[in-house]
Amino acid sequence: MTRQTLSALVINKRTLFILFCLAAVFTSVQLYLLGTHPFIMPRASTIPADIMNQPRYMNLYIGRQMTEYNNYLIYKYSWYHLVQGADLYGIYPSSHWDFYKYSPTFALFMGTMAWLPDVVGLCIWNLINALCLFFAVRLLPFNLKTQCLLLWFVFNELLTCISNTQSNGIICGLIIAAFGCMDRGKVIWAALWLVIATYIKVYGAIGCCLFLFYPDKMKFAGYVLLWTVVLAVLPLLVTPFSTLVWQYHNWASLMVADASKATGLSVNGWLQSWFGLTGINNRVLIAGLLLFFLPFARVNLYADKTYRLLALASMLIWVIIFNHKAESATYIIAVTGVAIWYFALPATGWRTSILFFVLVFTSLSSTDFFPSYVRSHFIQPYRIKAFPCIVAWIAVIVDLMTLKIRTGDEKERKIPEFH
């Protein structure tokens, strides 16, 4: 195979489409065929301050058989709990490990596949994750080669997401798709994608910051409000009003309890594991918010395509590294943000070094690239996966603050257009 042939195969949207589909299906089938195993009591250090890390909950699982696709079962059974009027946010040891932490609307959506055999439902679920991200990246204002390189860069992190049957590929894809729709003036669709993302995981609302950079701000706000109300009441199709209000109350209560002390693979977790700093969650979050919004003061750059891409990258990284519940499978969002930042600007030695740093110590940190001993005694306890993305986010903020304002005589920045 010649170099030209290999390049044509790698830089090919069909190749990547097939790869993403095969990865989703093969991973799903593998998870299903692994069957079940006895519940293993997790060490306290693996889920510090997690609401599930309490004997009164974990003791309920002793002797239970667990699958390798537990997250999918959480989503699946939420549909049955919704239509039965059971507490969506209760504990169900006979069905799955952990709490359901998503909206009643998401439980309604899961009714489209909950009735299917698990192996089929798993394949569909992971295909949605993979293809949502794939098609969203295709909406970014990069040429085909850059889009393909970006997809190759995030592929390993996507595998981590779908191996855990998580929803983060969908969240990442919806936020990027909203960006693409806003760029094309399709405000109603941008609003819908962001509201859906928020009803899956509340931090999807970060994408609403995009409205600052485009005209029709009131129109966008109106559509967000419309979709929020429509999707909020949609579960009334299968549950009474009083029960739905009760479900929302239970959801809010669980979120408050779950967020009390957790740090996860976040800036807080990193500061705690490296420097022993505890009890500073709120202060770190406030500092992170101030830094996040600082570049927004550069209003005269809102029309600049590079600025908007960097702002999108900042959102995708920030929402994970400052997330108290961030875990390995959520980093598909942050890593995609890092890739967008890198490809939006001219390549330099220091930017390429950061990209390589993220690839090795974030994307590959949870794989066999590192020996098991290194992962369990170094990477996991010291939150190594988070650190490269923290460094990358700081670089994004620096680039946002130092990006030159184009004058009327300057040419458009060289960001290859979508095709």
Whole-angstrom CA distances from 389 to 51, 59, 221 are 26, 36, 31
Owning domain of residue 187? 1-258
Same domain, residue pair 286 and 205: no
Are the beta carbons of 366 and 375 closer than 8 angstroms?
Answer: yes
The confidence score (pLDDT) of residue 46 equals: 47
Same domain, residue pair 319 and 358: yes
CA 130 to chain centre: 12
Give the residue, 57 or 16, on which the prediction is more confident: 16
Are the beta carbons of 155 and 23 closer than 8 angstroms?
Answer: yes
188-204 pLDDT per residue, tens: 999 999 999 999 999 89
The confidence score (pLDDT) of residue 418 equals: 39
Same domain, residue pair 292 and 342: yes
Average pLDDT of the chain is 90
Burial class from Cβ neighbours inside 10 Å (0-12, 13-18, 19+) for residue 409 reads: exposed
Q: Which of 197, 227, 258 is the last residue of a domain?
A: 258
The confidence score (pLDDT) of residue 411 equals: 47
The confidence score (pLDDT) of residue 227 equals: 97
Same domain, residue pair 208 and 278: no
pTM value?
A: 0.93
Same domain, residue pair 278 and 236: no
Same domain, residue pair 165 and 243: yes
Mean pLDDT, rounded, for 382-394: 95
Mean pLDDT, rounded, for 279-294: 90
328-351 pLDDT per residue, tens: 999 999 999 999 999 999 999 999
Give the residue, 354 or 7, on which the prediction is more confident: 354
Domain total in the chain: 2
**Cα gap 331→124, rounded to integer Å:** 21
* Two tokens, residue 407: 């004058």
Helix (H), strand (E), coil (C) string for 215-259:
CCHHHHHHHHHHHHHHHHHHHHHCCCHHHHHHHHHHHHHHHHHHC
In sequence order, what DSSP letters do the residues of 55-117 get, joined into one string? HHHHGGGTT-EEES-HHHHHHHHHHHHHHHT--TTS--TTT-SS---S-HHHHHHGGGTTTS-
Question: Residue 259: which pLDDT band, with cuts at 50, 70 and 90?
Answer: low
**Cα gap 121→93, rounded to integer Å:** 21
Same domain, residue pair 120 and 168: yes
In sequence order, what DSSP letters do the residues of 255-299 get, joined into one string? HHHHTSS---SSHHHHHHHHH---S-HHHHHHHHHHHHHGGGG-G
In the three-class reduction of DSSP (H, G, I as helix; E, B as strand; rest coil), residue 324 is classed as: coil
The confidence score (pLDDT) of residue 29 equals: 96
The confidence score (pLDDT) of residue 358 equals: 97
Length of the chain: 419
The confidence score (pLDDT) of residue 98 equals: 87
Same domain, residue pair 198 and 275: no
* Residue whose pair of structure tokens reads 């790869």 in the numeric block: 19
Angle between helices 217-233 and 187-200 (to 10 degrees): 40
* Two tokens, residue 66: 């667990």
Q: Which of 231, 258, 285 is the last residue of a domain?
A: 258
Are the beta carbons of 402 and 301 closer than 8 angstroms?
Answer: no
The answer to whether the Cα torsion of 140, 146, 152, 157 is positive or negative is: negative
Same domain, residue pair 350 and 311: yes
Residue 233: count other Cβ atoms within 10 Å of its Cβ. Answer: 13
Same domain, residue pair 199 and 254: yes
Same domain, residue pair 237 and 279: no
* Two tokens, residue 312: 């999108």
Same domain, residue pair 189 and 296: no
Q: Which of 258, 281, 306 is the last residue of a domain?
A: 258
